[in-house]
DNA sequence: CGTATGATTGAGTAGCATCAATAGGCGTGG
DNA sequence: CCACGCCTATTGATGCTACTCAATCATACG
């Protein structure tokens, strides 16, 4: 469960360009969706568009706390290193979510943020948030919603993914991944990542999934999982 | 782990009066600490001061979502009922904390909020928050801080209180209770409440604490726990 | 084709849940 | 004041669950 990087993948980040929010085709779902264009034009500092490859770190606790990261596509995990060395995932962030909110309040990053696949983000300087703060109350409501969304997810991880038998937790996670992806077929997470999210070991997760496969409840092919008949009354 | 009430205690709530924020002796620590007095004077709706006895419910998921609860003294637990019938505590809120933030965003309550001891709160109508919203940017920062505080605690519950052996979790919880109360001696929670917070059974928690008592690491007397030498390398 | 990484499977064990019985604390009513 | 009932905490016995350690398999990549 350590955070060692796979060297079987590129682990790099690329500056794509300065973001042009006006032209962003998913602007209506993003943090700045509520802002009028003229506000976007007079920003003091640039919003950069950056691509991160799988397993690249966006930031960790030691990174200078200057930016929030608005995710355009892909998934990012937030994890916390525990005293005994291994880490636990406390959040999965996807398109429209914002990572690193705590720095807006002048705090340090509380997690390591790591790209789970290829990720496309807009990196927004905190000062931009502060600049726009007073001007636009809707942005604030948007920020509050981001926080609340995170809190909902954290509560869910506590009540559903960290409670009950291994079988229940794994089933629940698979259902959620399916719902998030709006499809019965979705990219699989690494077993170790599931384990870190569920508070189980890699082996236990593997056993549970193998069990579901044998029971005909799911199929896995090309790193993709398809749910077949995971009943909602999984014991 | 059901929510049945003890009948050995009064379980009632008492309206104390309309809150007078100007005279509140702990105003500087509360949600409205940043507001000038003139703002407080022209509120459209009353802020009520209410006292809840132990095990009284402030609200639950079915309660009409109209108020947030700013805690003046005492402790409130937020818990979620799980499908199998028992519940899990996802948050402990104390003086200065605000329960029910989600209703500000127009959502329903996501928890049952229950007084853990006698609790003194100010019940603030959401519309008051909305009314003051645009006027005072500092209030917003205060609200963001409340959300972030909750999120920090949720992350902590995931990484420290829901992970590791029963012994580790119980030790960690006792340390936190000590730190929260700024004293090695503090009011004990019921074993079942600790269990619900830690994702363990009442019996296991009892065994762990009994073990600590026998090891001379803590003393319990009159519902109060005193930590003696709970080393930080408790495994 | 060899190597590295992740997934699977097995065997053995520790830890926690479960079921059950007992003890202690507190309030109530005789 | 004491006895009783209720509730919580404790302790024991037992079995299952998930962890640990270890070996093997599968897959991707050079």
Question: Of A97, A109, A99, A105, which Cα lies nearest the Cα of A65?
Answer: A109
Kindly give, in sequence order, each residue whose CB lies less than 8 Å from that of residue A14, ignoring residues fewer than 6 positions away. Answer: A50, A51
What is the structure's pLDDT at B11? 58
What is the structure's pLDDT at A113? 97
- Nearest Cβ partner for B199 among A151, A152, A163: A163
CB contact under 8 A, B102 and A148: yes
Asked if B58 contacts B69 with a C-beta cutoff of 8 angstroms, the reply is: yes
Judging contacts by C-beta atoms under 8 Å, the chain B residues touching residue A162 are: 158, 162-163, 199
Structure tokens at B21: 């924020």
How close does chain B come to A80, measured CA to CA in Å?
Answer: 7
Start and end residues for every CATH 2.60.120.10 domain found in chain A? 13-154
Q: How many other CB atoms are there within 10 angstroms of residue B37's CB atom?
A: 9
- The angle subtended at Cα B194 by Cα B226 and Cα A147, nearest 5°, is 115
- State the nucleotide closest to A165 in CA–C1' terms: D17
Q: What is the spatial order of strands in the sheet that A224-227 belongs to?
A: A185-187, A224-227, A218-221
Show which residues sit with Cβ under 7 A of nucleic chain D. A 8, 165-167, 199-201, 203-204, 222; B 6-8, 188, 190-192, 202-203, 206-207, 209-210, 213, 220
Q: pLDDT category, A11, cuts 50, 70, 90?
A: low
- Give the helix, strand, coil percentages of chain B, each rounded to 5: 40, 25, 35
- State the nucleotide closest to A202 in CA–C1' terms: C7
How close does chain A come to B165, measured CA to CA in Å?
Answer: 11
CB contact under 8 A, A90 and B160: no
Asked if A31 contacts A142 with a C-beta cutoff of 8 angstroms, the reply is: yes
Kindly give, in sequence order, each residue whose CB lies less than 8 Å from that of residue B166, ignoring residues fewer than 6 positions away. Answer: B198, B200, B204, B205, B207, B208
- Tell me, yes or no, if the pTM score tops 0.85: yes
Q: pLDDT category, A29, cuts 50, 70, 90?
A: confident
CATH topology (fold) of B13-153: Jelly Rolls (2.60.120)
Interface of A with B in 49-108 (CB under 8 A): 80, 82, 84, 88, 90, 101-102, 104-105, 107
Nucleic strand C within 7 A of Cβ B197: no
Q: Which residue is nearest to nucleotide D9 (CA to C1')?
A: B206
Q: pLDDT category, A1, cuts 50, 70, 90?
A: very low
Question: Of B169, B191, B178, B192, which Cα lies nearest the Cα of B227?
Answer: B178
Average of per-residue pLDDT across A17-46:
78
Q: Looking at the predicted structure, is the pLDDT value of residue A5 above 50?
A: no
What is the structure's pLDDT at A64? 97
What is the structure's pLDDT at A114? 96
Nucleic strand C within 7 A of Cβ B222: yes
Q: Which residue is nearest to nucleotide D30 (CA to C1')?
A: A8
What is the structure's pLDDT at B134? 72
Average of per-residue pLDDT across A25-29:
77
Question: Of A113, A106, A78, A151, which Cα lies nearest the Cα of B147?
Answer: A151
What is the structure's pLDDT at A16? 83
DSSP B72: E
- State the nucleotide closest to A6 in CA–C1' terms: C5
Tens of pLDDT, residue by residue over A59-106, are 999 999 999 999 999 999 999 999 888 899 999 999 999 999 999 999
Start and end residues for every CATH 1.10.10.10 domain found in chain A? 166-227
Tens of pLDDT, residue by residue over A181-225, are 999 999 999 999 999 999 999 999 999 999 999 999 999 999 999
Q: Looking at the predicted structure, is the pLDDT value of residue A146 above 80?
A: yes
Start and end residues for every CATH 2.60.120.10 domain found in chain B? 13-153
DSSP B59: E
Share of chain A above pLDDT 70, in %: 92
Question: Which of strand D's nucleotides are less than 7 A from any protein C-beta?
Answer: 6-13, 17-22, 28-29
What is the structure's pLDDT at B235? 45
What is the structure's pLDDT at B231? 57
Question: Which of strand C's nucleotides are less than 7 A from any protein C-beta?
Answer: 4-11, 15-20, 26-27
- State the nucleotide closest to B202 in CA–C1' terms: D9
The separation, in Å, between residue A7 CA and nucleotide C3 C1' comes to 13
What is the structure's pLDDT at A2? 36
Phi, psi of B229 (to 5 degrees): -145, 45
CATH topology (fold) of A166-227: Arc Repressor Mutant, subunit A (1.10.10)
Q: Which stretches of chain B score pLDDT less than 70?
A: 1-11, 44, 230-235
Please state, rounded to an integer, the average pLDDT across all residues of chain B: 88
**What is the distance, to the nearest Å, from the Cα of residue A48 to the centroid of all Cα atoms in its chain?**
19
> How would DSSP label each residue in A106-147?
TPPP-SEEEESS-EEEEEEEHHHHHHHHTT-HHHHHHHHHHH
Q: How many other CB atoms are there within 10 angstroms of residue B118's CB atom?
A: 15
Give the H/E segment covering residue A210: helix A202-214
* Closest chain B residue to the Cα of A80, Cα to Cα: B159
What is the structure's pLDDT at B43? 76
Kindly give, in sequence order, each residue whose CB lies less than 8 Å from that of residue B211, ignoring residues fewer than 6 positions away. Answer: B167
CB contact under 8 A, B107 and A148: yes
* Closest chain A residue to the Cα of B88, Cα to Cα: A159
- Nearest Cβ partner for B88 among A111, A151, A159: A159
What is the structure's pLDDT at A28? 75
The whole-angstrom separation of Cα B205 and Cα B7 is 24
**What is the distance, to the nearest Å, from the Cα of residue B25 to the centroid of all Cα atoms in its chain?**
20
Q: Looking at the predicted structure, is the pLDDT value of residue A3 above 70?
A: no
| Whether CATH 2.40.30.30 fits A13-154 | no
Residue A94 burial (C-beta neighbours within 10 Å; 0-12, 13-18, 19+): middle
> How would DSSP label each residue in B132-200?
HHTT-HHHHHHHHHHHHHHHHHHHHIIIIISSS-HHHHHHHHHHHHHHHTTSSEEEPPPHHHHHHHHTS
What is the structure's pLDDT at A232? 47
CB contact under 8 A, A147 and B151: yes
Range list of H helices, A157-190: 166-180
What is the structure's pLDDT at A231? 56
The whole-angstrom separation of Cα A191 and Cα A185 is 17
What is the structure's pLDDT at B41? 77
CB contact under 8 A, A134 and B133: no
The separation, in Å, between residue B203 CA and nucleotide C16 C1' comes to 10
- State the nucleotide closest to B167 in CA–C1' terms: C15
Flag whether residue A136 sits within 8 Å of chain B, measured between CB atoms.
Answer: no
**What is the distance, to the nearest Å, from the Cα of residue B68 to the centroid of all Cα atoms in its chain?**
13
């Amino acid at each position: 469960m350590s955070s060692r990087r796979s060297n079987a993948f590129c682990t790099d980040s690329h500056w794509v360009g300065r973001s042009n929010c006006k032209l962003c085709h998913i602007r209506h779902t993003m943090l700045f969706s509520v802002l009028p264009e003229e506000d976007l034009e007079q920003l003091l500092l640039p919003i950069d568009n950056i691509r991160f490859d799988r397993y690249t770190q966006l930031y960790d606790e030691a990174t200078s706390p200057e930016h929030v990261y608005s995710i355009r596509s892909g998934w990012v995990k937030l994890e916390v290193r525990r005293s005994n060395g291994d880490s636990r995932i406390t959040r999965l962030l996807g398109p429209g979510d914002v990572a690193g909110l705590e720095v807006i309040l002048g705090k340090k990053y509380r997690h390591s943020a790591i790209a789970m696949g290829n990720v496309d983000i807009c990196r927004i300087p905190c000062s931009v948030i502060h600049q726009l703060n007073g001007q636009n109350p809707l942005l604030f409501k948007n920020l509050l919603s981001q926080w609340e969304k995170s809190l909902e997810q954290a509560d869910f991880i506590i009540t559903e993914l960290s409670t009950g038998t291994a079988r229940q937790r794994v089933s629940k996670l698979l259902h959620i991944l399916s719902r998030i992806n709006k499809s019965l077929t979705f990219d699989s997470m690494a077993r170790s990542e599931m384990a870190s999210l569920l508070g189980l070991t890699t082996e236990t997760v593997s056993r549970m999934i193998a069990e579901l496969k044998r029971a005909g409840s799911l199929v896995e092919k090309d790193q993709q999982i398809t749910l077949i008949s995971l009943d909602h009354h999984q014991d």
